[in-house]
């Protein structure tokens, strides 16, 4: 069997998310730079990169693109980008070399392989990761991601971003991240419960309420946090159990979760958009915005922007993209997505392709899906004034250069999506003190904390005359450097 036969075979067993259960071909017709006017879009499939392996015939003289469900995205190495960003900050501020060397490595990388019984009686062995990047500022903190593209490099990158995020926001946590390489669509609810519990059990004391505290991320939610909490609490001595409630954050309210945690990341994004709009004379009333990703972060950001009087005009998620220049009601779309699993088929908007989505003219773009979405190809398409990065690592270095050249303002990820970890900190504090704060209190504290971080980043950008991404990195490194210098290196 040759290489391409092997690859086709590998993809044979995969199931498309597209309810039509078939390969879908998209031909893009565009007159933008880099794309041939009126011809097929040249490029590779943004999901599977099968290119020459596609079992379908190539169109005459054209290059095909498919939207096969499995999001085998082009994995430009996020970890290298994250380290490159640190180097960029070092070029501006001469941070201590030894401290930077410490911060370019992760402290612990835990890989667990664990068996889980499936509903047909077979046993599947899954691989899970927990990377603890740094805990100089406090216990390790970071989400758990369940996704087919999860691997150790991705988790290392995301753990490192968490360290910068907690440093910028002045909250007493370090940085960590974890995940399992799987597609939740392949498993039943009972299987997901067993997987989540068994993963927590396999991690054992590598997590803990005063040591490393997971939270939700892509494809995980408050229910999964409750299972992990219960599993952890069930494995400690009975008289210790209630001292472990804060082993995870992002829990359901009844299990010790905080008011406002579910919407916290989207709320933080919107507080910062509001602040940026005020500072830059943009009226949010009537302003237009587009959102990529309509899960926790994207849907909440979209719904809260509606309360500012802004108009959502285009949305893309893993099932497709939609456009309605007269406005899409994000609350109505959220109900549809909950019922149908994605935006595909939403009848109050027109289906559009990936390139049209990125080319849609709007005031604000909120990426809230996965990393490496704004690239050398897509950054040229964007016609927006502000990008508020709800997701982690949505912009790759080439895309970033283009945004700077095109003067598109960016509120960078480690600042913009920090609302989640800020309210996770509030949840942790409430659990430790046996307190329960109301929503107004949580929101007010979130706004104060995230806007203070915004001010620090803006001041650093002005002081060092750098872009906001570099400024955010400088703010984070300054705090970490100070702590390392005060404490010294043991022994």
CA distance 453 to 475: 9
**Active-site residue, from 40, 177, 263, 311:** 177
Contact yes or no for 337/331 (Cβ under 8 A): no
Q: Which of 134, 163, 391, 470 binds ligand NAD (CB under 6 A)?
A: 391
Q: Where are the alpha helices (DSSP H) in 116-259?
A: 152-168, 189-203, 222-234
If the CB atoms of residues 73 and 324 are measured against ligand NAD, the closer one turns out to be 73
If the CB atoms of residues 89 and 218 are measured against ligand NAD, the closer one turns out to be 218
When asked if residue 390 is in the footprint of ligand NAD (CB under 6 A), the reply is yes
When asked if residue 168 is in the footprint of ligand NAD (CB under 6 A), the reply is no
Residues 6+ apart with CB under 8 A from 316: 290, 291, 292, 293, 322, 343, 354, 357, 369
When asked if residue 106 is in the footprint of ligand NAD (CB under 6 A), the reply is no
Judge whether 90 counts as a catalytic residue: no
CA distance 31 to 155: 38
CA distances from 66 to 26, 63, 291 (A): 6, 10, 22
DSSP state, 42?
A: P
How many residues bind to ligand NAD according to rule CB under 6 A? Answer: 26
When asked if residue 293 is in the footprint of ligand NAD (CB under 6 A), the reply is yes
Please report how close the Cβ of residue 293 comes to ligand NAD at its closest, in angstroms: 3
Count CB neighbours of 306 within 10 A. Answer: 18
Copy the structure tokens of residue 178.
Answer: 């974890």
CA distance 387 to 371: 14
* Residue closest to ligand NAD when measured from CB atoms: 295
Copy the structure tokens of residue 338.
Answer: 């909950």
If the CB atoms of residues 73 and 449 are measured against ligand NAD, the closer one turns out to be 73
Site string (416-455) toward ligand NAD, x via CB under 6 A: -x--x-----------------------------------
Site string (181-220) toward ligand NAD, x via CB under 6 A: -----------------------------------xxxx-
CA distance 301 to 294: 9
When asked if residue 370 is in the footprint of ligand NAD (CB under 6 A), the reply is yes
Candidates 186-194, 290-298, 451-459, 467-475 — which segment interacts with ligand NAD by CB under 6 A?
290-298
When asked if residue 386 is in the footprint of ligand NAD (CB under 6 A), the reply is no
Give me the helix-helix angle, 296-306 and 264-279, nearest 10°: 50
When asked if residue 369 is in the footprint of ligand NAD (CB under 6 A), the reply is yes
Residues of this chain that bind ligand NAD (CB under 6 A): 71, 73, 216-219, 265, 292-298, 316-318, 342, 368-370, 390-392, 417, 420
Catalytic residue positions, numbered: 177
């Amino acid at each position: 069997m040759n290489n391409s036969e092997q690859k086709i075979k590998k993809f044979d067993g995969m199931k498309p998310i597209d309810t039509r259960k078939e390969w879908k071909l998209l031909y893009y017709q565009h007159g933008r730079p880099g794309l041939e006017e009126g011809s097929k879009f040249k490029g590779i499939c943004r999901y599977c990169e099968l290119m020459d392996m596609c079992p379908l015939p190539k169109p005459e003289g054209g290059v095909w693109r498919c939207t096969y469900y499995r999001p085998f995205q082009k994995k430009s190495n996020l970890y290298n980008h994250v380290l490159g960003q640190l180097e960029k900050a070092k070029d501006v501020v001469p941070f201590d070399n030894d401290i930077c060397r410490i911060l370019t490595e992760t402290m612990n990388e835990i890989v667990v392989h664990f068996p889980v019984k499936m509903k047909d009686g077979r046993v599947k062995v899954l691989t899970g990761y927990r990377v603890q990047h740094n805990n100089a500022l406090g216990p390790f903190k970071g989400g758990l991601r369940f996704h087919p593209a999860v691997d150790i490099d991705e988790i290392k990158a995301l753990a490192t971003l968490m360290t910068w995020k907690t440093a910028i926001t002045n909250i007493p946590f370090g940085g960590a991240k974890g995940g399992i390489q799987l597609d939740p669509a392949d498993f039943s609810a009972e299987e997901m419960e067993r997987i989540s519990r068994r993963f927590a059990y396999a991690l054992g004391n590598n997590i803990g309420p005063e040591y490393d505290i997971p939270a939700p991320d892509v494809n995980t939610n408050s229910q999964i946090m409750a299972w992990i909490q219960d599993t952890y609490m069930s494995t400690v001595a009975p008289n210790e159990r209630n001292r472990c409630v804060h082993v995870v954050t992002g829990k359901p309210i009844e299990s010790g979760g905080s008011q406002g945690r579910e919407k916290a990341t989207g709320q933080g994004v919107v507080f910062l958009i509001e602040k940026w709009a005020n500072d830059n004379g943009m009226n949010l009333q009537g302003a237009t915005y587009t959102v990529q990703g309509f899960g926790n972060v994207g849907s909440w950001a979209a719904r809260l922007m509606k309360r500012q009087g802004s108009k959502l005009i285009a949305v893309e998620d893993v099932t497709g993209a939609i456009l309605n220049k007269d406005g899409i009601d994000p609350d109505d779309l959220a109900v549809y997505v909950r019922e149908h699993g994605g935006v595909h088929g939403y009848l109050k908007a027109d289906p559009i392709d990936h390139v049209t989505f990125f080319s849609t003219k709007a005031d604000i773009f909120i990426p809230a899906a996965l990393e490496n979405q704004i690239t050398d190809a897509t950054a040229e398409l964007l016609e927006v004034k502000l990008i508020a990065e709800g997701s982690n690592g949505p912009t790759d270095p080439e895309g970033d250069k283009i945004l700077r050249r095109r003067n598109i303002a960016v509120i960078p990820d480690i600042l913009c999506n920090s609302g989640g970890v800020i309210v996770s900190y509030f949840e942790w504090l409430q659990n430790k003190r046996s307190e329960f704060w109301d929503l107004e209190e949580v929101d007010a504290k979130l706004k104060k904390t995230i806007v203070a971080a915004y001010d620090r980043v803006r001041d650093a950008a002005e002081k060092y005359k750098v872009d906001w991404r570099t400024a955010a990195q400088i703010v984070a490194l300054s705090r970490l450097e100070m702590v390392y210098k005060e404490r010294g290196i043991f022994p």
